[in-house]
Amino acid sequence: MVIVFYRPPKSWEEIEAEDREKAASQGITYTAWVEKRAKKKARVIPKEIRREVLARDNHQCVRCGAKKDLTLDHIFPFSKGGSNTPENLQVLCKACNFSKGNSVTSKKAETNKNE
């Protein structure tokens, strides 16, 4: 049996008052708290976008072609203002995403064979 609780819709004043309380409890201003919440929400990639990017990249890693452990990667980092649009997203497997994160280009020292 499913019990559904109906709550009367809150007024904007009530919602704002609650948000201000939450902000105060975290020791930040109301504006900072609203911004923080907006960022948190934006970081989550909507399901439709996920599906679109996965379909576009044939459900495989764009670097190595792996079809397991796929993740969506922001081409332009989200932390630097990159958006959640399909153009800024690509499919990477965990291994490639991890190596991209480190972005260590280890060039093997070339050995001189023509001695």
Q: Which of residues 82-101 bind Zn ion (CB under 5 A)?
A: 93, 96
Task: Tell me whether residue 89 or residue 96 sits nearer to Zn ion (CB atom).
Answer: 96
Among 66, 71, 74, 88, binds Zn ion (CB under 5 A): 66
Among 64, 83, 85, 98, binds Zn ion (CB under 5 A): 64
Q: Among positive and negative, which fits the CA dihedral 65, 59, 100, 95?
A: negative
Task: Tell me whether residue 71 or residue 84 sits nearer to Zn ion (CB atom).
Answer: 71
Q: Which of residues 13-52 bind Zn ion (CB under 5 A)?
A: none
Residue 70, interface with Zn ion (CB under 5 A)? no
CA distances (Å), origin 61, targets 65, 66, 75, 104: 5, 5, 13, 19
In whole angstroms, how close is the CB of 36 to Zn ion at the nearest point? 33
Which string of b and e fits 12-44 if b means at least 16 CB within 10 Å?
Answer: eeeeeeeeeeebeeeeeeeeebeeeeeeeeeee
Q: What are phi and psi of 69, to 5 degrees?
A: 50, 50
Residue 72, interface with Zn ion (CB under 5 A)? no
Which residues form the interface with Zn ion (CB under 5 A)?
Answer: 61, 63-64, 66, 93, 96
